[in-house]
Structure 1
């Protein structure tokens, strides 16, 4: 699930505040439960009244029993939080605007940008009472983050469903996490039946236009699995089954020649992506493909499908997009 990130955000402006926080802290690390007997008794009482103790990659952490101002670091953690009924107060954002399914609920959510080092100053300004992040994303920043608010680092997972369950466990919403997963499975199963009625065994190729390349996704990668397994759309016959995705030239696209093409623009606002998209549309090779001649090409935006295969919200939104596109084509 990791995506490339660039830029370094400075933290000099909050060193004084962090130093002050550190001075006021006890000798026990801010987020950790003390191992001394007396402190353990006190911690148990506090945990019962206003706090809970949860497990993290850094050990047990005291968090508010009912956190009100939560931040989920990494691009997809905010989506997990919202799926569990928690609107984050701040997010790290890849795009300048939120996808449509988050635009309204996140209208008051602070965007802190995306960088190798988080914008600690912006995070501090929101006064969070809980920070949740995956270890692979925030392990290097744990010390600074834990001085701002109780910080829970969770293990890296290969499947977003396990990530959602981890966060549900932290928030005391494990049952809700299971329901979110089951509801999406039901929605996908229903969509799978409808799509089979619309296209049967006709082949579908899922392709993305990126700034530097054209990529075709197979069944063995998150987003490709969503299209071909969860929704049951038949992949092209000649796609190499050992590959998750393949980068192809314009000249090679006709070799697949699918009945339908789901075409995603990686970044709608990118000049490079738009230039490559225009070249594709003007190509005689493209125009002579079966899907193109039959008007079976469905355009999907990069911002809307950015988290596809990595988030229940993104997947649910994509189900609607695919059904809408194929239904429209059938009329």
Structure 2
């Protein structure tokens, strides 16, 4: 009997141990599973947080939209926006271009940038193929195309501005580069001031006329238009007498040019490779009216290239390049 009780007692103890072990294993499994689920939730939450961190909301003319915080593939629609983007350290992946070749100051950084040409309607096929993650465009140029553009990538329309500095600040605000925009503007102002002082000592009160030879016409610019303001106000070169102040620019015939007779002429060829432009320039140079002008007799004709000065007065990069050109020309 004692032997039987001992056996039963032993079996009970064994069953009790097995039960405890099983419960322990189950609890461990539950703990492990819960820990795994918690880890999974933490990872998932981290992924969501990371995703949120890569986007931010900006207010636009079309309402609030979500854009990448650090976009890698940006398109700036309008001929000047790519230069403004690059001034902020962003190389656009595709651009609208007026000239076949980039100006010298963009040739190397834009060597891999796609050229889409320029037309009243953007090249949607090329834009789509370039796979942008952000499109920035002025409203005056792209409002009509906004729906199509926004289907390709988040598209920010910016207001029309009269001054490229405001355009630069608008773009910088979208990209989170406001301080960099201010630095660009301040750096240019410093260089303009320095150049103005040098030119004052070189040129003094001698008059300067800024002229462009185009395929169909000859144009002279006053001091109240972007490029004319850069020459006459920013750099302080004295404009010709009797220029009509109500006119931003004047289309002028060869016969009328001698009436102004400046001491210096800054002469820009709209497109050096254009045969019509070259023919018009040669016709002007061969004219006795041209040869008898003061600037020609003094050999004070300063020739500037078309694509190099295309964005003059509309881009800090173009203005910086032009400062170097003008200083070089007048120092010689």
**Category of TM-score, reference length = shorter chain:** 0.7 to 0.9
CA RMSD of aligned residues (A): 1.2
1:261 aligns with 2:301: no
- Which residue pairs with 2:255 in the alignment? 251
Work out which of the residue numbers 125, 135, 145 in structure 2 matches 1:141.
Answer: 145
Separation in 2, partners of 1:238, 1:213: 21
Work out which of the residue numbers 173, 178, 196 in structure 2 matches 1:174.
Answer: 178
Separation in 1, partners of 2:326, 2:297: 20
Deviation at 1:46, TM superposition (A): 7.7
Aligned to 2:247, what secondary structure does the other structure show? coil
- Which residue pairs with 1:231 in the alignment? 235
Separation in 2, partners of 1:220, 1:50: 43
Q: Is the 8 A contact 1:130 1:149 kept in 2?
A: yes
Q: Max radius of gyration: which structure?
A: 2
Deviation at 1:212, TM superposition (A): 1.2
Q: Is the 8 A contact 1:47 1:65 kept in 2?
A: no
Deviation at 1:194, TM superposition (A): 0.4
Separation in 2, partners of 1:57, 1:280: 48
Separation in 2, partners of 1:272, 1:50: 51
Detail structure 1 runs of 4+ shifted over 4 Å in the superposition. 44-48
- Which residue pairs with 2:21 in the alignment? none
Work out which of the residue numbers 96, 100, 103 in structure 2 matches 1:96.
Answer: 100
Q: How does 1:1-331 map to 2 (within 5 A)?
A: 48-328=52-332
- Unaligned 5+ runs, structure 1: 1-43
Aligned to 1:205, what secondary structure does the other structure show? strand
* Residues paired across the two proteins, number: 285
Separation in 1, partners of 2:197, 2:191: 10
- Unaligned 5+ runs, structure 2: 1-47
Q: Is the 8 A contact 1:218 1:224 kept in 2?
A: yes
Separation in 2, partners of 1:191, 1:319: 7
Q: Which structure dedicates a bigger proportion of its chain to helix?
A: 2
Per-residue displacement from partner, 1:62-114 (whole Å, max 9, x unpaired)? 00011011010010000000000000011011111000010000000011111
Separation in 2, partners of 1:51, 1:254: 60
Aligned to 2:239, what secondary structure does the other structure show? coil
Separation in 1, partners of 2:227, 2:61: 28
Deviation at 1:311, TM superposition (A): 0.6
Aligned to 1:133, what secondary structure does the other structure show? strand
Pair 1:177–1:47, CA change in 2 (3 A): farther
Aligned to 1:122, what secondary structure does the other structure show? helix
